[in-house]
Amino acid sequence: MNASSDPSELNLASIQMVSTPKLNENLDVAASLIKAAANSGAQLAVLPEYFCLMGLKDTDKVNAREAPGSGPIQERLAAIAKENNIYLVAGTIPLEAKESNKVLNTSLVFDPHGKQIARYDKMHLFGFQTVTERYEESETIAAGNHPGQFKITVSEIEWYFGLSICYDLRFPELYRALGSVDCHIIPAAFTYTTGKDHWEILLRARAIENQCYVLSSAQGGLHLNQRRTWGESMLIDPWGQILSNLPEGEGFIQGTLSKDKLKEVRSKLPALKHRRL
């Protein structure tokens, strides 16, 4: 795995996609972008929500669901992580739920050996309706019940991450429940309508109030199902500054997490220690 020249820094990348209804096509695009990010020095890469399938119908993801721990999507993801010697936060994939007509919208994390080291099932399910738009994730997705987080060790330095997905971003109590982390990772497929007004504000708020980095990986463009997603994959520092972003289309952004920056922000404004609730 590529190493940062400074052991107190971690190089990471966020992949942005405009996924299609073709599963293998999406996996190939993801593999190509992850390889490019790894070749550019990324030690950890993140894929967006629904990266493997943006179906023509909401039920398409139910038909593509896999059992936990087995299936062609999970096997390909493990292979990609291993081939590129990289930690991979694999956006979301559809896993079997107790209800046969629904799936869990699940984020899996793989280590550079291709071993799954963490899992998070999306807890908050998006619902939105206007005259021209309607989304109701609860019709095809079962909600998860537990927050997600993971830890990695690189050059004897431990890095702590929180996992959340898209609509979770609107629920700050979830991030408080996860406690102190170095970085919150947020795969998403924000709609254009909500994204243009709320996406950046919410991401920066989560970074500022938790005094940590936030790395989001987004869908960003017009999909074949005529859904338009907002894009703007971002890396934000603990002071709320945007370090890198990709407005729209396929590609990736790259940046570093710094232990020194985390310590600086938390020492000059120790808000996390000032909490009363």
Of 30, 26, 154, nearest to 89 by C-alpha is 30
**Mean per-residue pLDDT for 13-32?**
98
Counting runs of H as helices and runs of E as strands, what totals does the chain give? 7, 16
Residue that the structure tokens 């609730």 belong to: 277
Q: What is the pLDDT of residue 25?
A: 98
Dihedrals φ, ψ of 260, to 5°? -65, -40
- Tens digits of residue pLDDT in 190-231: 999 999 999 999 999 999 999 999 999 999 999 999 999 999
Half-sphere exposure of 192 (CA within 13 A, CB side): 14
Contacts of 266 (CB under 8 A, 6+ apart): 211, 238, 272
Q: What is the number of structural domains in the chain?
A: 1
Give domain status of residue 194, yes or no: yes
Residue 4 lies in a domain: no
Decide if 99 contacts 14 (C-beta within 8 A). no
Residue closest to 128 by CA, chosen among 79, 189, 73, 193: 193
Q: What is the pLDDT of residue 59?
A: 95
In a domain, 2, yes or no: no
Handedness of CA 219, 223, 226, 231 (dihedral sign): positive
Residue 33 lies in a domain: yes
Q: Is 166 in the active site?
A: yes
CATH at 104: 3.60.110.10
Domain of 127, in residue numbers: 9-274
Q: Please indicate, yes or no, if residue 173 is contained in any of the structural domains.
A: yes
Q: Is residue 215 part of a domain?
A: yes
More confident residue, 4 or 251: 251
Rg (CA), the chain: 17
Pick the catalytic residue from 52, 61, 102, 122.
122
Q: Which of 9, 137, 166, 261 is catalytic?
A: 166
Specify the pLDDT at position 173: 98
For residue 139, indicate whether it is catalytic: no
Q: Is 52 a catalytic site residue? A: no
- Owner of token pair 């370090």: 243
* Mean pLDDT of the region 31-55: 98
Instruction: Specify the range with the lowest mean pLDDT, choosing from 126-135, 150-159, 168-177, 198-207.
Output: 126-135
Q: Catalytic: which of 49, 137, 232, 248? A: 49
Phi-psi region of 71 (alpha: psi -120 to 50; beta: other; left: phi over 0): left
> In the structure, what pLDDT confidence band is assigned to residue 2 with cuts at 50, 70 and 90?
low
Distance CA 43, CA 41 (A): 6
3 pLDDT exceeds 70?
no
Q: Mean of the pLDDT values across residues 48-77?
A: 97
| pLDDT of residue 172 exceeding 60 | yes
Residue 3 lies in a domain: no
Beta bridge partners of 222: 228
Tell me, what's the pLDDT at 265? Answer: 98
Which tokens go with 99?
Answer: 């209800």
**Residue 272 burial by CB count (10 A; 0-12/13-18/19+): exposed, middle or buried?**
middle
> Is 80 exceeded by the pLDDT of residue 50?
yes
- 267 is a domain residue: yes
CA 103 from centroid of its chain's CA atoms: 18
Give pLDDT, residue 5. 75
Please state, rounded to an integer, the average pLDDT across all residues of the chain. 97
Q: What is the mean predicted confidence (pLDDT) over 2-29?
A: 92
Determine contact, residues 148/118, Cβ cutoff 8 Å: yes
What percentage of the chain reaches a pLDDT higher than 90?
A: 96
- Model confidence band, residue 132 (pLDDT cutoffs 50, 70, 90): confident
